[in-house]
Amino acid sequence: MELVSAFGMLIGGFAILLIGGEALVKAAVSLALRWNISPALIGLTVIAAGTSAPELFTSITAALKGANDIALGNVVGSNIFNLLAILGVASLIKPNRVQKRAIIVEIPFLLMASIAMITFAYDGGIDRIEGAALVIALAGFLYMSFVKSEGADEADDDEIDEESKLKNVYWDFGYLLVGFAALLAGAQLALEGGIQLGTIFGLSERIIGVTIISVGTGLPELATSAVAAYRGRNDIAVSNVIGSNLMNTLGVIGTTSLVQPMPASEKIITSDCVWMVAGLFIVFPIFYLGRGTIGRPMGLFLLFGYVSYLGFLISTP
């Protein structure tokens, strides 16, 4: 009975997440039209912050409860899931175009942010000063993104038609609020089901953190990017993943460390973090090989990479 209940929560949570993803995409496109902002920038910032809220809530709660491997493993596992599984799924739905800015600026910055986070954690954990440095780095990046947004990817403007605009700005924010609320509720429901499944099958805290919980908190990103890809908004589908990983690495870990310093186990640093950085090194050349597009074959390759990571966890728990 417990197994049926756990699976029921997972399925129900995912259904709510799809509703939230649909609402967020509509709001993002409408706001981009109304404010003459690149949809990719909305995906990189507003949507990425919203879809990273479950990671923030989960990591802070886990850190305060002393579940340190879940607090950090949730973020690392979610980043791996975003890069390999979500980009893979979105690209299987429809090939996704990658903007030049993402290749030149955002992916390299994400790589540097990931290396900085690992360096901070390498001595056994991330303290409040290091957490503050991560948050400041994120604030600086967001500021520069908005300052430089006027000249970024002008080609995006001709991809959006006026029919995509909602009735007024109140509808835009209404859709945003509904989307965020649905994502949080759906993620929480799916997360509870995932934790129950992990307990039933006797998984360790680290494995639960980097797989079940990270996938559960990563479902908002999956729902949003999948819906965006299906609707042809590949700029949002890709930028949401990049932005979410930046929010996770700098915002979630930084904020959690300010609330409660985060100890880091050796296995997460020497194993899971290595997979996270390796995922970036896999994705970066794919952007070039695909000439700015992630096609279905590359999407399948990314999914295979995530399955390989899961196989690695099973073979070396």
Specify the CATH number for the domain of residue 46: 1.20.1420.30
Domain count, the chain: 1
In a domain, 173, yes or no: no
Domain that holds residue 68: 40-152+204-315
In a domain, 281, yes or no: yes
Q: 56 near 256, Cβ under 8 Å?
A: yes
Phi/psi at 97 (nearest 5 deg)? -80, 140
Residue 256: which of 81, 36, 52 has the closest Cα? 52
In a domain, 177, yes or no: no
In a domain, 228, yes or no: yes
In a domain, 261, yes or no: yes
Residue 30: which of 220, 156, 173 has the closest Cα? 173
* DSSP collapsed to 3 states, 101-141: HHHHHHHHHHHHHHHHHHHHHCCCEECHHHHHHHHHHHHHH
Residue 103: which of 177, 153, 170 has the closest Cα? 153
Residue in the structure block whose two tokens are 């929480």? 188
Q: 41 near 243, Cβ under 8 Å?
A: no
In a domain, 295, yes or no: yes
- Tokens in use for 64? 């305060």
pLDDT for 158 equals: 42
In a domain, 27, yes or no: no
Residue 215: which of 117, 86, 37 has the closest Cα? 86
**Average pLDDT per 10 consecutive residues for the chain, totaling 317 residues:** 82 81 77 74 74 80 83 92 90 78 80 94 92 94 73 46 71 87 81 78 81 80 80 73 90 94 90 91 72 79 92 83
pLDDT for 76 equals: 94
pLDDT for 256 equals: 94
